[in-house]
Amino acid sequence: MKKLKRMLRPVGIACALIGVIVALGFVERTADHTPISDLEVIVESAEGLHFIDERSVRQEVLDQGTTVMGSATGDVDITTIEERLKNIPSVAKAQVYHTMDGRLHAHVTQRVPIVRVFDRNGGSFYIDREGWTMPTSPEYTARVLVVTGIGDVPGIAEGVRNVYATDDRATGSRLDDIHRLASHITADPFWNALIDQVVVTGEGEFELIPRVGGHRILLGDGAELAQRFEKLRIFYEKGIPQAGWRNYARIDLRYADQVVCTKRTTP
C-alpha cells in the first residue's frame, strides 16, 4: 500500500499542476473579455506642481480614436496608451494596466523642473531634476531658479531633450553646466533660499544674483562648484556679519583659496 501511495503521489502533483494551469488559462481568457468599466488615474508629482492633472490624463487615455470604455480589456492597446502619455512633455513616467474587475489604471509621474532657462531672444524652457528639458506651460509657472543670457538653441523650447546629449557648445548655451549648477543650488536649503537668478555672461561664465544684499557673485566657468560654494559659505559666515550685506558690489570666487570682494562706491 505504501508503495502504491508513493507511485501515485507524483501523479497527484501533476494533476494538481494541470488543474492550476487550466484555471489560470480560464481566468486569463475571462479577464480578456471583461469590459472596461472604469478608469482610475493617479498623477504623482512633487508638492505644488501642476503641469498636468487628472482631467488631462483622462482625456489623453480616452481620446484614442476608438472606444476604450466598454471595450474588452483584451482589445485595449495598453502599449499605445502608455506611449501617448509618455509623449506629454511634462510626464517623466507612465504606466497603464487593467485589473480583472474591468478597471483601467493610468499612473503618471510628472517631471520636476529645477531651473527655468531664458535665451537672449526671450524664449524659455525648463530643465528637470534628471537633466531633461521640458516646455513651459501657458497654464502654470513653476517657481524655480532662473538662468538668463544663454545663446539660442533651435527647437529646444518645444521638445524634450537630455541636456547631456545635446550639442550646444556652438551656441554657448551650456545646458549641462546649467543643470549641474542648478542641481547643486537646489540640493542645499541655504543656497536654494538665497540664490534666485543666474546670469550667463558674454564670456560664458556664471554670475549669481542673491535675493538679498544687492551684490553679484562671480562664480566663473562652473568648475569646482563644491569648493567655490564652500568658500562663499565661509565668507558669509565670517565676513558678512562684520562688514554688512550691502557694503559689497561684487564677490569673486574665481581665484584659488581666496574670495576677492569689490566694495560698493555709492551708499
Helices (H), 87-162: none
Q: Hey, is 150 helix, strand or coil?
A: strand
Percent of the chain with pLDDT over 70: 82
- Specify the residue for cell string 527655468: 116
Higher pLDDT, 19 or 102: 102
| pLDDT score at 139 | 86
SS3 content of the chain, % helix, strand, coil (to 5): 35, 25, 35
One DSSP character per residue, 174-238 reads -HHHHHHHHHHHHHSHHHHHHEEEEEE-TTS-EEEEESSSS-EEEEESS-SHHHHHHHHHHHHHH
pTM of full prediction above 0.85:
no
Q: What is the pLDDT of residues 2-30, one digit of tens each?
A: 554 555 455 455 544 554 444 344 444 45
Tell me whether domains 38-110 and 113-263 share a fold. no
Superfamily holding 113-263? Cell division protein FtsQ/DivIB (3.40.50.11690)
pLDDT tens, 41-58? Answer: 999 988 888 899 999 999
Q: What is the CATH number of domain 38-110?
A: 3.10.20
> Which of 231, 232, 234, 193 shows the shortest CA–CA distance to 216?
232
Residue 247 has pLDDT above 70, yes or no: yes
- Tell how strand 195-200 and strand 206-210 pair up: antiparallel
- Sorted by where each begins, the domain ranges of the chain are 38-110, 113-263
- What percent of the chain lies above the pLDDT cut of 90? 46
Task: Report yes or no: 86 and 68 within 8 Å, Cβ to Cβ.
Answer: no
d(CA 153, CA 167): 9
Mean pLDDT lowest among 13-27, 31-45, 82-96: 13-27
Q: What is the pLDDT of residue 40?
A: 93
Please give the grid coordinates belonging to residue 100: 480583472
Cα–Cα dist 76/189, whole Å: 46
Cβ atoms 98, 104 nearer than 8 A: yes
Q: What single DSSP character describes residue 35?
A: B
pLDDT value of residue 171:
60
